[in-house]
Amino acid sequence: MKAAEFASPAVLAAYDWGGEVLDVSRYGMGHINETYRVIALQPDGAEKAYILQKVNTGIFKDPEGLMDNIVRVTEYLRDYLKRAGGDAERGAMTVVKTRDGRWWYRGEGLSCWRVYIFVVDTICLQRVEQDSDFYESAVAFGNFQNQLSDYPAGTLHETIPNFHNTVSRYEAFEKAVAEDRAGRAASVRAEIDFIRARKQDCAFLMNLLREGKLPLRVTHNDTKLNNVLLDSKTRKGVCVIDLDTVMPGLAAWDFGDAIRYGANDCPEDEPDVNKVHLNMAKYETYLRGYLDAAGAALTPLEKETLPWGARVITLETGIRFLTDYLEGDHYFRISRPSQNLDRTRKMLKLTEEMEAHFSEMGEAVRRYGL
């Protein structure tokens, strides 16, 4: 669409695009924020691309804190890359200020808008097309962890409180069982019993953090393959994107979420749990890439607890899906009535798979990283 056809012209007017805006079009496959690509004609006749996003303030209720986190982390990464002789323009996201010098624009209805410079000559994959893709995503997230290893994580805002506090997630689950708002608890007794039998697992990493045995890190908290930009020619990891959930956390959480998402061969809502398996080859591929990039920054105990990260985050995700199912499917978007239950059962089966392969997962860490 042309600039004049864009539904929020005041947003475009708030930014200096370097020239005439030629096109504004929907971009990407994200489900949370509204994302557009803006093409603007520059004085030299070249076209420059930007990413314009409307932040979902229904989910991110503190947009000011969220943007403060993003700006501080991206500025730190850019400075790090410049000092290290890297490519700061492609290796870290660049937030563009408004005409009046702000990092984001407050639009109509208290909407929050932001702009990034588009990272050219990159691709974003929705699924692994070759083993090296998963390895390169691990390297990218490992570099992200390594480059931010000296950043004071405790100074960042917790934009989604208790996001990976699995003890808190377990308590919310028990509350949902007790209240049984949707009248579904009796039909999911097996799933409830499965989770209750693993109550202590929910506390394992949180206890180590509370006892000071694991350091607080800057974590991404959404380490999916499609949150890494790969170079379109070399397919090497270029830049980690989607920093909305950057918060204080544990390295094991980021590692674990990537394994939960990428080291199995089924859709998230696969209804046939017999098809759900932990792919140990993919696990080892990601582990090697992550340790190759982040290993020097991690303590020995952090490395040892990486398999626990996969196991706990997978269980936690199953708990969250079942909690939402018991409450009537109000948080996770569904397209059919039993979708959250299928998601739950997949996560619980994957948790079982990880328990069965847990010694192998630990042996791989010792082989590659200790």
- Provide the pLDDT for residue 38: 96
Whether residue 150 is contained in a domain is answered as yes
Express as a percent the part of the chain with pLDDT over 90: 85
- Average of per-residue pLDDT across 292-319: 97
Q: What is the CATH number of the domain that holds 20?
A: 3.30.200.20
- The reply to whether 264 and 135 lie within a common domain is yes
- Provide the pLDDT for residue 59: 82
- The reply to whether 198 and 297 lie within a common domain is yes
Asked whether residue 7 carries a pLDDT value surpassing 90, the answer given is: no
Pairing of strands 112-117, 47-55: antiparallel
Whether residue 353 is contained in a domain is answered as yes
- The reply to whether 82 and 172 lie within a common domain is no
- The reply to whether 45 and 167 lie within a common domain is no
d(CA 86, CA 44): 27
Whether residue 332 is contained in a domain is answered as yes
Q: Output the CA angle 34-217-146, nearest 5 degrees.
A: 90
Query: Best-predicted range by mean pLDDT among 259-273, 331-345, 347-361?
Result: 347-361
- Provide the pLDDT for residue 4: 63
Cβ neighbours, 10 Å, residue 301: 12
- Provide the pLDDT for residue 185: 98
Whether residue 295 is contained in a domain is answered as yes
Structural domain boundaries, residue 255: 131-369
Nearest alpha-carbon partner for 227 in 24, 25, 26, 29: 29
- The reply to whether 296 and 336 lie within a common domain is yes
- The reply to whether 230 and 89 lie within a common domain is no
- The reply to whether 84 and 149 lie within a common domain is no
Q: Which of 32-36, 95-99, 132-136, 311-315 has the lowest mean pLDDT?
A: 32-36
- The reply to whether 207 and 243 lie within a common domain is yes
Asked whether residue 31 carries a pLDDT value surpassing 70, the answer given is: no
Cβ partners under 8 Å of residue 363, min gap 6: none
d(CA 50, CA 53): 10
Q: Using the 3D structure, point to which of 81, 99, 120 is the last residue of a domain.
A: 120
- Provide the pLDDT for residue 126: 83
Which strands sit side by side in the sheet containing 122-123, from one edge to the other? 122-123, 228-231, 237-240
Q: Using the 3D structure, point to which of 74, 97, 120 is the last residue of a domain.
A: 120
Whether residue 170 is contained in a domain is answered as yes
Helix axes of 251-262 and 306-327: crossing angle, nearest 10 degrees:
70
Please, what is the average pLDDT of the chain?
94
- The reply to whether 183 and 322 lie within a common domain is yes
pLDDT bin (cut points 50, 70, 90) of residue 370 is low
Q: What is the CATH number of the domain that holds 137?
A: 3.90.1200.10
Query: Is the sign of the CA dihedral 182, 184, 185, 188 positive or negative?
Result: negative
- Provide the pLDDT for residue 36: 95
Q: Using the 3D structure, point to which of 120, 143, 163 is the last residue of a domain.
A: 120
- The reply to whether 80 and 197 lie within a common domain is no
Whether residue 125 is contained in a domain is answered as no
- Span 98-143, pLDDT tens digits: 999 999 999 888 889 999 999 999 999 988 888 899 999 999 999 9
- Tally of domains within the chain: 2
pLDDT bin (cut points 50, 70, 90) of residue 177 is very high
- The reply to whether 69 and 195 lie within a common domain is no
- Average of per-residue pLDDT across 17-44: 90
Asked whether residue 333 carries a pLDDT value surpassing 90, the answer given is: no
Q: Tell me if residue 307 falls in helix, strand or coil.
A: helix
Asked whether residue 21 carries a pLDDT value surpassing 70, the answer given is: yes
Whether residue 36 is contained in a domain is answered as yes
- The reply to whether 269 and 203 lie within a common domain is yes
